[in-house]
Amino acid sequence: QVQLVESGGGLVKPGGSLRLSCAASGFTFSDYYMSWIRQAPGKGLEWVSYISSSSSYTNYADSVKGRFTISRDNAKKSLYLQMNSLRAEDTAVYYCARRRVDTASDAFDIWGQGTMVTVSS
């Protein structure tokens, strides 16, 4: 079935780095834009970044621009988020999500289960 599975979360000190991965299955990964979205404990959802199907285009929230890098490997059906210079405010559950785009709509239709990132000394 269509599935996204994140991994790579954990506890990291402020200023540290972490790389998240998201493994896709059940659909043609290379056909879709993909995104990372996060949710701080007890808070709402925050879009982090997206990448186009061929990696030609990327976009980032201002809160992570210059610190986070999104990438993908279509041969491995995998999405990545390299997170550097981590701050306490980056503490959140990080979800990868498939972005379904057509002429009149644009939505995150498939989500992974999430991976927790905690930034603390």
Partner 1 sequence: DIQMTQSPSSLSASVGDRVTITCRASQSISSYLNWYQQKPGKAPKLLIYAASSLQSGVPSRFSGSGSGTDFTLTISSLQPEDFAAYCCQQSYSTPYTFGQGTKLEIK
- Judged by the rule CB under 8 A, the positions of this chain that interact with partner 1 are 35, 44-47, 50, 59, 61-62, 95, 100, 104-109, 111-114
The candidate with the shortest Cα–Cα distance to 77, out of 22, 36, 114, is 22
The least CB distance from residue 93 to partner 1, in Å, is 9
The least CB distance from residue 100 to partner 1, in Å, is 8
In this complex, which beta carbon is closest to partner 1, that of residue 66 or of residue 121?
Answer: 66
Identify whether the C-beta of residue 84 lies closer than 8 Å to the C-beta of residue 68. Answer: yes
Rg, C-alpha atoms of the chain:
14
The continuous run of DSSP H or E covering 6 comes out as strand 3-7
The least CB distance from residue 34 to partner 1, in Å, is 13
The least CB distance from residue 106 to partner 1, in Å, is 4
The candidate with the shortest Cα–Cα distance to 94, out of 16, 40, 34, is 40
In this complex, which beta carbon is closest to partner 1, that of residue 24 or of residue 112?
Answer: 112
Largest CA distance in the chain: 46
In this complex, which beta carbon is closest to partner 1, that of residue 61 or of residue 74?
Answer: 61
